[in-house]
Structure 1
Amino acid sequence: MKAVLMTTPGAPDVLQLRDVPAPTLQQDTELLVRLKAAGVNPIDTKLRKRGTFFPDRLPAILGCDGAGIVEAVGAGVQQFQPGDEVYFCNGGLGGHPGNYAEWAIVDARFAARKPTTISFAEAAAAPLVLITAWEALYDRARLQAGQRVLIHAGTGGVGHIAIQLANLRGAEVCTTVSTEAKAVFARDLGASQVLFYKDVDVAQAVVNWTHGQGVDVTFDTVGGAVLGQSFAATKFYGDVVTILEADPTTDWKTARTRNQRVSFELMLLPMLKGLVVQQQAQANILQQCAQLIDAGQLRLHISQTFALAEAAAAHRSLEAGSTIGKLVLLIDP
């Protein structure tokens, strides 16, 4: 089969299309999936630059997100059969092969049926960002109807899903953007307040928006100094959730003196640590999101698609910044 191999850490050009043996079923719980598309995420570019979590297993196939058609099932699989369309977040961290390839093996317990109303490209763009936003807002922050939430970078991959999930929960959304085009997109997704973070003091603007109280929940998808700034935008006893490591210079005093609950959302943890129950829970999130997507209540935005052989170009585009929504590799258009 054709697959994009990372032979060594480095610039995007280390990603090369090669012929490799096609995978075969090894366990009773596995699916053999003919991939139609693969999502491209920031974690892919980070692993390409610095090395995977399993540096002794090069070459590696990157790509956590995939969507395709089940070709064969293990003897113990009951919920899927050949011909079923599935999507999932599995592999791509340097251990289990990822989805920059024509075929993939995925445990049936970690896959979900693809939403019927969207393309394979849209489905492949979805899993990581759906699970991340869902876990951050619903599980970590326990977002409730009537609350106000600040979502940093609301037009990014995770952010544009988070705005929609917050609205579906009945929350009011404020988000940050860098351009007028992104502001228009954020409002179309359901954000009621849009801040140009380059032009305003975000924390003060949020405090003004909430009549001096601060938001109930802040979701940091940016990292760096943004986490520290988020504390000042969040009310006493509020929640702050981040998907990135805290900056070493982060001043935690504001969070402490406001009795805020600070949570970390690393959605790849179950895959990294082999936490089967949590991986099954993430597949259940995908099942619930598929229902929302098919009901027209949740949508994925793809900024650009690339052929499988153009994986390096996709990485360059993502690293250039300013992407609205997601980038996707089309494997079998």
Structure 2
Amino acid sequence: MSRIVQFSKAGGPEVLSFIDTAVRAPGPTEVRVRVKAIGINRAESMWRLDDYIEPVKFPAGLGYEAAGVVDAVGSDVEGIAVGDDVNVMPSFSMNDYGTYGEIIVVPEHAIVPHPKSLSYAQAASIWMMFVTAYGALIEDAKVGAGDFVVIPAASSSVGLAAIQLANFAGATTIALTRTADKRQTLLGTGATHVIVTDETDFVGEIERITGGQGARVVFDPVGGPNFAKLISVMSFQGIAFIYGALAQGPTEIPVLKMIAKMQTVKAHNIWLTSGDPARRKAAVEYVLKGLEQGKLKPIIDREFQFDDMVEVHRYLEQNGQFGKIVVNV
């Protein structure tokens, strides 16, 4: 038997419950993992609320990331053996699989090598954050020297990954944060510039930093009323990626201004990269290279225990974390 976390109706953290379930054998292309740590993502609280990119089928499990030890493999699985240390990358529907459990079964394609230099907790934190940012900044926009990259909500795990990846590629990062208490930590994380939006006119400050040329890339998980302002500080043929809706309100797009500067707005999520075998392989190799060179590093805000999963989601929804929340199993 294994404990997993499920919920039978949409709602607050209190709808999460622990269920004892029989450990099943993996199918032909599946891998069973004894979980050591779980990475927690904003997507999972949206899933719990049934307010995510697909409707929930109840009763539902949840969870996209984990690190652990292979417990069993399906008959058609190659290159993965019982006893291997592995990680689970987001690359499946939570209607089909989940990582909130002591022992889980996931598709073979979701398994990635465990970086040797990282603990289980660190490894459980990296794949959603780095691959989401990689897909936009490295794979699509191909940022590099001379590019300015604006990163709102920069203290989130994906925001911090974006700072590191843009730096790794040679671009100049402009991190946005609402309050001054995160300024020094963001600078210490590698942000070239930090703008405190509650204190400063970020439009004017970005224009100053970029010498009036604007930022070629905006990587935004917020949307809402500030999105049009972000577009106004983009360069000619600049590109804005929107990968979240933290503002939870209408997001207006200044169409005529965009036409004048031939700008692009793209909706973005991890699936474009993690759902394609060739792109997924390239992303994993890039992240592993950055980790080996010390250019990319996991940043953990706080660690919890598996029994505290309800409290974990309450903490997640306070929106105060700097980096990733991880649960040890």
Using the size of structure 1 for normalisation, the TM-score is 0.91
User: Which of 289, 292, 310 is the equivalent residue of 2:290?
Assistant: 292
Answer yes or no: is the 8 Å Cα contact 2:92–2:110 preserved in 1: no
Q: Structure 1 residues 34 and 224, CA, compared in 2 at 3 Å: closer, same or farther?
A: same
For 1:1-333, list aligned pairs within 5 A: 1-27=2-28, 29-50=29-50, 53-55=54-56, 57-90=57-90, 93-244=93-244, 247-268=250-271, 275=275, 278=276, 281-331=279-329
Post-superposition offset of 1:212: 1.1
Q: Which amino acid aligns with 2:327?
A: L
Considering Cα pairs closer than 8 Å and 6+ residues apart, tell me whether 1 or 2 has the greater RCO: 1
State percent identity of aligned pairs. Answer: 28
Answer yes or no: is the 8 Å Cα contact 1:227–1:242 preserved in 2: no
RMSD: 2.0
Q: Which runs of 5+ in 1 are unaligned?
A: none
Post-superposition offset of 1:149: 1.2
Q: Which amino acid aligns with 1:194?
A: V
Post-superposition offset of 1:92: 7.4
Q: Which moved more, 1:160-169 or 1:253-262?
A: 253-262
Return the alpha-carbon distance in structure 1 between the equivalents of residues 155 and 244 of structure 2.
17
Q: Structure 1 residues 296 and 258, CA, compared in 2 at 3 Å: closer, same or farther?
A: same
Answer yes or no: is the 8 Å Cα contact 1:149–1:218 preserved in 2: yes
Return the alpha-carbon distance in structure 2 between the equivalents of residues 222 and 51 of structure 1.
15
Post-superposition offset of 1:213: 1.1
SS at match of 1:25: coil
SS at match of 1:130: helix
SS at match of 1:125: coil
Q: Which amino acid aligns with 2:109?
A: R
Q: Which amino acid aligns with 1:328?
A: V
Post-superposition offset of 1:231: 0.7
SS at match of 1:9: coil
Q: Structure 1 residues 37 and 269, CA, compared in 2 at 3 Å: closer, same or farther?
A: same
Answer yes or no: is the 8 Å Cα contact 2:91–2:110 preserved in 1: no
Q: Structure 1 residues 265 and 40, CA, compared in 2 at 3 Å: closer, same or farther?
A: same
Post-superposition offset of 1:93: 4.3
Return the alpha-carbon distance in structure 2 between the equivalents of residues 26 and 3 of structure 1.
19
Post-superposition offset of 1:188: 1.3
Return the alpha-carbon distance in structure 2 between the equivalents of residues 84 and 291 of structure 1.
20
Q: Structure 1 residues 90 and 237, CA, compared in 2 at 3 Å: closer, same or farther?
A: closer
Q: Which amino acid aligns with 1:258?
A: K
Aligned residues: 324
Answer yes or no: is the 8 Å Cα contact 1:44–1:63 preserved in 2: yes
Q: Structure 1 residues 183 and 125, CA, compared in 2 at 3 Å: closer, same or farther?
A: same
